[in-house]
Structure 1
Amino acid sequence: MIKNLFIAFILLSTHAIAQNKPLESDTIPLIINKQNTIYVKAVFNDSDTLNLNFDTGTTELVLTNNVLKNKLKSVPKLYNTVYNLKIGNHDYKTKIYDAELTGHDTDGRFGWDLFKDKTVELNYDKNALIVHNQLPAYVSKDSKFKKFPIKYFKELFLIEGTISQNGIKNTSLFLFDTGYQRTAMLDNDLLKLSNFPAEKMEVIKKVMMKGAQGNEIPVITSNLELLKIGNYKLKNVPVQQITANKPMRGENIHILGNEILKRFNTFLDFQNNVVYLKPNQLFNAEYVEKMKNGI
């Protein structure tokens, strides 16, 4: 990533002295739709304004095949060429990848790594994505913000959470994935290894879900008694299980999705590898699956 520097020139007597001025925090309007997709407007390649999902479960920039073929003013080269992506007042450099699908109302998605030397604030009370040079001092002083160490796995990041059912508790790592629109995707292999009583969860429904490449995936939605993140408890959460695939291929990892993550105002401190979460006005919002099923 290439850092942008604003250079301020100050004339002292007959000498001109150049000094580096720290970048200001950059506040960007954040939209969240009823499917829990969060997105911002961004300008790709200095010419195309796009709606892009901020997806912490991915890296770099992904655009749908439809957008690549029909919406852009130019034909970008995939995978190896670096392009400019302007988000808010700042320019970021990224390669570009293709996918069949992305979040509702969006043209594609960009990953957390664009901000890997920054702190990113997701403020759902103010509908803002704010990029800071460093963690604001007030965050660590606010006792309502709970601190979670980031654990990295193959360029993605995870935090710890606990699930409970019929008196059995299991604490493990969850992929922090704002790009996943539902609550949580539980890994069946990890549930079995921990002897978690998944069969005791009440089944809400069974459906076919489409993956990013348009492939069909059978999914069971069940009622989890308790999901605990730090000291914060969420009861009777409709969680998903994939029966034919794994949430993360080849790995035993659960996924924490944006229908949970939107309930917290968030600071992603990538300089110190820490996440701060604080409940917001959406904390007690109804879950989509329960609204649909009248539960």
Structure 2
Amino acid sequence: MKNILLFIAFVFLCNQMAAQKKLPVIRANSFKAVILEEDNGLKTDWNIDPSVKPDIYTVSKISKGSKTVKIKTDIDSIRIKIKQGDKKDFVILLKGKDSCLTRIESQVPKDFSTVQPAFHDSIRLGINGQNTMFVKAALNKTDSLVLNFDTGTSNLSLTAEALKDKIKQSLKAGVNVLSIGNKKYDGFKIYKVELSGHGTDGRFGWDLFDGMVVELNYDLGIMVVHSQLPEYVKKDKAYERLEVKYLDKLFFVETTINQGSSSYKDWFLFDTGYQRTAMLDGPLLREHHFPTTQMKEIKKVIMRGGQGNEIPVITANLESLSLGKYKLKNIPAQLLSESRLVINKRMNILGNEILKRFNVFLDFQNNAVYLKPNKLFNDSYIEKE
């Protein structure tokens, strides 16, 4: 019996070694590598670490189909195709001796559409004169907070002031619960920030609702979290459907801007936490021959980043901006003279001074945004008042 057990163990070990040998292998002489998501251009500096097995890189959410990821070391490279919920292992052979087991994985898609009973959780939605959208929430049942729903961020961020004056409990990683309306959310991280939307104690991101559908109805002043997209939205031709593309923890919609005879179409960050109209990356636009010099300067302002840093910005008149079939004209847009990197990438941003003009359904099941003009659509822009 002992010999039989030894033989079985030997066969198992051989099979494991054979499986290991089948893994793709690339070489490296340096601890530094780069991971590139080819569909969205996200570039991540990667540290090769032999002590972590497997060392896992999680790709941006895949909206449909698959994506290709390129891993490049100082002397070698590999391309890996990955689907939703999939994972692929390979080995980086460091300096010819250390085998670094590395994994590229995609998170399993969340989908609450089959939950019974279906839910439609309605929450009072406020918006102030600074375009900060906010709801009331409770952290761990005890601490009442006013929070900004910021689609340009993820997890939960609380201001230093709120952490000092409003949080009466000891926060422990991985066990915190945020109550919004009748639903409870967990699994998020908590970050400390210096600033949040005007009059709020912090902000929470779209990923809290991954696999759900979020309705922002400014006409009724409500935010509704749905287990699935209401059928009437699909039938109402006034709603314009825009595809969503993800970049790390951010999501984007296709947007077209026009100036004179020039047109530029790109993926813009959908950012309800940005209080102004649109932030345009001047150097990026000029590389695509968009005539930023033809945009009439309105004024100069100082914008503050999430950590309180100052960013000088020129406000200039943009002739038009289109989201699908809907066009907004003569927009006082913020034009950056220098590129501002977000997650190591240049980008243009849609802010809530534009987004508040639509009643919105954010479909995080089918990765789409539905927009319909509301009562604010034709209101004057704050910068021009």
**Greater C-alpha radius of gyration:** 2
Match of 1:92 among 185, 192, 205: 185
1:106-255 correspondence to structure 2 within 5 Å:
106-246=200-340, 248=342, 250-255=344-349
1:36-55 correspondence to structure 2 within 5 Å:
36-55=131-150
Give, in angstroms, the shift of residue 245 of structure 1.
4.6
Whole-Å Cα distance in 2 between the matches of residues 247 and 187 of structure 1?
10
| Root-mean-square deviation (Å) | 1.7
What whole-Å deviation, never above 9, does each CA across 1:168-206 have from its counterpart, x for those lacking one? 000111000000000000112320221100011011111
**In percent, how many aligned pairs have the same letter?**
56
Conservation of the 8 A alpha-carbon contact between 2:281 and 2:338: no
What whole-Å deviation, never above 9, does each CA across 1:90-123 have from its counterpart, x for those lacking one? 0001220111000001000000001001000000
Instruction: Tell me how many residue pairs correspond in the alignment.
Output: 273
Give secondary structure in 1 for the equivalent of 2:161. Answer: helix
Q: 1:265 to 1:199 in 2, by over 3 A?
A: same
Q: Which residue of 2 aligns with 1:33?
A: 128
Give, in angstroms, the shift of residue 244 of structure 1.
4.1
TM-score by length of 2: 0.69
Q: Which moved more, 1:209-218 or 1:172-181?
A: 209-218
What whole-Å deviation, never above 9, does each CA across 1:63-107 have from its counterpart, x for those lacking one? 001111122112425xx4341000000000122011100000100
Whole-Å Cα distance in 1 between the matches of residues 175 and 278 of structure 2?
33
Give secondary structure in 1 for the equivalent of 2:141. Answer: coil
Q: Which residue of 2 aligns with 1:8?
A: none
* 5+ residue gaps, structure 1: 6-19
Give secondary structure in 2 for the equivalent of 1:209. Answer: strand
Whole-Å Cα distance in 1 between the matches of residues 118 and 201 of structure 2?
28
Give secondary structure in 2 for the equivalent of 1:104. Answer: coil
Q: 1:206 to 1:247 in 2, by over 3 A?
A: farther
Give secondary structure in 2 for the equivalent of 1:265. Answer: strand
Conservation of the 8 A alpha-carbon contact between 1:184 and 1:256: yes
Q: Which residue of 1 aligns with 2:380?
A: 286
Conservation of the 8 A alpha-carbon contact between 1:221 and 1:238: yes
Conservation of the 8 A alpha-carbon contact between 1:247 and 1:254: no
Q: Which residue of 1 aligns with 2:153?
A: 58
Whole-Å Cα distance in 2 between the matches of residues 169 and 110 of structure 1?
34
Give secondary structure in 2 for the equivalent of 1:35. Answer: coil
Conservation of the 8 A alpha-carbon contact between 1:82 and 1:96: no
1:12-23 correspondence to structure 2 within 5 Å:
21-23=116-118
Whole-Å Cα distance in 1 between the matches of residues 348 and 152 of structure 2?
12
Give, in angstroms, the shift of residue 155 of structure 1.
1.6
Match of 1:274 among 368, 371, 377: 368
Structure having greater relative contact order (Cα 8 Å, sep ≥ 6): 1
Conservation of the 8 A alpha-carbon contact between 1:81 and 1:96: no
Q: 1:48 to 1:149 in 2, by over 3 A?
A: same
Conservation of the 8 A alpha-carbon contact between 2:339 and 2:346: no
Conservation of the 8 A alpha-carbon contact between 1:56 and 1:156: yes
Q: Are 1:263 and 2:263 counterparts?
A: no
AA aligned opposite 1:239: A
Q: Which residue of 2 aligns with 1:17?
A: none
What whole-Å deviation, never above 9, does each CA across 1:15-38 have from its counterpart, x for those lacking one? xxxxx7324200000001011110
Conservation of the 8 A alpha-carbon contact between 2:283 and 2:337: no
Conservation of the 8 A alpha-carbon contact between 1:217 and 1:244: no
Whole-Å Cα distance in 1 between the matches of residues 286 and 300 of structure 2?
20
Give secondary structure in 1 for the equivalent of 2:306. Answer: coil
Whole-Å Cα distance in 2 between the matches of residues 244 and 69 of structure 1?
36
Runs of 4+ displaced beyond 3 Å: none
* 5+ residue gaps, structure 2: 1-107
Give, in angstroms, the shift of residue 250 of structure 1.
2.9
TM-score by length of 1: 0.89
